[in-house]
């Protein structure tokens, strides 16, 4: 292939399935004569680029998107095709530019969901030997578990531009308590709840500890930074910031602190996200949730959970 320094780009109109498509065609010129030179590899790349533009316009998965779904399950093209019930070479063709039908596209889209992919694999189990089948089953079950732990909903593009600053765990805790308790007050007023003690619905020390863990995890995912520097330990009832255990312990709900310390917009937003998602789950269920997660499973009891381990795990949970 010619030196890429001699590569040029031009916009052209091409027809795909009777549809006119504008796309950027690459071509190579002779640096001496200025004449265009045929390059088979570049022509193949042009076709792939053209077909992907077409696929986007008619709402079909592109070659790159199909490949990304396949790679999520750590399968080669043949294995993925067989797992979802297609012919052996179909995925190879689609990843190399062939245009799939809408029905096949729907099958591939569905397979992105680990729960549905699990069903596909079970249905097509006979197409694999036992070792292959068990390997893929293990991978799919891992992804299913990650999906079940994807509790929070957020758009990372709306968050990453916000200022983010690490604080002491006490500052984060007090902000969390104020926001959580304020939400309880608002709901009480909204639904005119008078027959229960609102204070009794305030955040408890146990729930505070679990939400601090998830605040740290989402901060790691979104900003790559700690929400607080204080260590998180593995205790019997889940992750615990021991510095905060000394401040807030027991079973009684925590009354709203009176301090008025401002924190960064990014950290504020992470706290809001955790309260609106994980905060709606009972403390005992949060304990079970943390006990199923890699940071807990891969850290010995009474040891500090490594921040990089948390970051890696929450990046996997919120991969998309």
What are the start-end ranges of the H helices in 58-123? 63-72, 77-83, 90-95, 102-111, 114-123
Task: State the sign of the Cα–Cα–Cα–Cα dihedral 221, 227, 232, 238.
Answer: negative
Last residue of a domain, one of 15, 35, 57: 57
Asked if 171 contacts 261 with a C-beta cutoff of 8 angstroms, the reply is: yes
Q: How far is CA 131 from CA 121, 125, 225, in A?
A: 13, 11, 40
Domain boundaries, position 222:
156-317
By CB atoms closer than 10 A (0-12, 13-18, 19+), residue 246 is exposed
Same domain membership, residue 49 and residue 71: no
Helix, strand, or coil (residue 77): helix
Rounded CA-CA distance 60/69 in Å is 14
pLDDT reported for residue 260: 84
Same domain membership, residue 213 and residue 138: no
Q: How far is CA 10 from CA 28, 39, 211, 225, in A?
A: 11, 15, 53, 43
- Going by C-beta distance under 8 Å and a sequence separation of 6 or more, which residues neighbour residue 43? none
Same domain membership, residue 107 and residue 45: no
Same domain membership, residue 239 and residue 177: yes
- H/E segment holding residue 50: helix 40-57
Asked if 277 contacts 150 with a C-beta cutoff of 8 angstroms, the reply is: no
Same domain membership, residue 161 and residue 268: yes
Q: How far is CA 174 from CA 190, 235, 241, 262, 265, in A?
A: 24, 22, 14, 11, 16
- Going by C-beta distance under 8 Å and a sequence separation of 6 or more, which residues neighbour residue 135? none
Could you tell me the maximum CA-CA distance found in the chain, to the nearest angstrom?
Answer: 89
Rounded CA-CA distance 237/226 in Å is 22
CA 152-156-158 angle, 5° bins: 115
Same domain membership, residue 168 and residue 126: no
By CB atoms closer than 10 A (0-12, 13-18, 19+), residue 48 is middle
Same domain membership, residue 188 and residue 265: yes
Give the neighbor-by-neighbor strand order of the sheet with 36-37. Answer: 7-16, 19-29, 36-37
C-alpha Rg value of the chain to the nearest Å? 26
Domain count, the chain: 3
Same domain membership, residue 160 and residue 18: no
Same domain membership, residue 294 and residue 184: yes
Same domain membership, residue 165 and residue 313: yes
Last residue of a domain, one of 19, 38, 57: 57
Task: Compute, in degrees rounded to 10, the torsion defined by CA atoms 135, 141, 142, 148.
Answer: 170
Rounded CA-CA distance 306/309 in Å is 5
Cross-strand partners of 20? 15
Q: Return per-residue pLDDT of the chain as tens, 320 residues.
A: 445 678 888 888 888 887 888 878 888 888 888 888 888 888 888 888 888 888 888 999 999 999 999 999 999 999 999 999 999 999 999 998 899 999 999 999 999 999 999 999 999 999 999 999 999 999 999 999 999 999 999 999 999 999 999 999 999 999 999 999 999 888 777 666 655 555 668 999 999 999 999 999 999 999 999 999 999 999 999 999 999 999 998 889 999 998 888 999 999 999 999 999 999 999 999 999 999 999 999 999 999 999 999 999 999 999 87
Same domain membership, residue 300 and residue 165: yes
Region for residue 166 given its phi and psi (left: phi exceeds 0; alpha: psi -120 to 50; beta: otherwise): beta
Last residue of a domain, one of 148, 176, 203: 148
């Amino acid at each position: 292939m010619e030196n890429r320094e001699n590569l040029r780009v031009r916009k052209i109109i091409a027809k795909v399935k009777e549809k006119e498509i504008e796309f950027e065609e690459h071509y190579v010129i002779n640096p001496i004569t200025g004449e265009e030179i045929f390059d088979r590899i570049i022509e193949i790349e042009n076709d792939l680029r053209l077909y992907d533009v077409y696929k986007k316009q008619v709402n079909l998965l592109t070659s790159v998107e199909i490949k990304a779904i396949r790679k999520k399950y750590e399968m080669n093209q043949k294995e993925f095709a067989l797992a979802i019930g297609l012919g052996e070479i179909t995925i190879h063709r689609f990843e190399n530019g062939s245009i799939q039908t809408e029905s096949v596209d729907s099958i591939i889209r569905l397979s992105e969901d680990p729960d549905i992919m699990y069903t596909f694999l079970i249905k097509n189990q006979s197409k694999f030997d036992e070792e292959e089948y068990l390997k893929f089953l293990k991978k799919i079950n891992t992804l299913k578990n990650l999906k079940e732990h994807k509790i929070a909903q957020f758009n990372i593009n709306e968050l990453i531009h916000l200022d983010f600053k690490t604080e002491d765990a006490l500052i984060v805790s007090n902000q969390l308590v104020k926001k959580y308790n304020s939400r309880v007050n608002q709901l009480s007023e909204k639904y005119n709840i008078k027959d229960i003690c609102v204070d009794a619905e305030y955040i408890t020390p146990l729930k505070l500890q679990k939400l601090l863990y998830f605040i740290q995890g989402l901060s790691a995912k979104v900003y790559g930074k700690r929400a607080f520097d204080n260590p998180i330990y593995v205790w019997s009832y889940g992750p615990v910031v021991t510095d905060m255990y000394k401040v807030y312990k027991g079973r009684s709900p925590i009354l709203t602190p009176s301090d008025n310390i401002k924190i960064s917009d990014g950290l504020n937003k992470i706290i809001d996200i955790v309260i609106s998602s994980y905060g709606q789950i009972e403390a005992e269920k949060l304990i079970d949730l943390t006990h199923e997660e890699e940071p807990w499973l891969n850290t010995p009891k009474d040891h500090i959970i490594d921040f990089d381990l948390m970051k890696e795990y929450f990046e996997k949970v919120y991969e998309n």
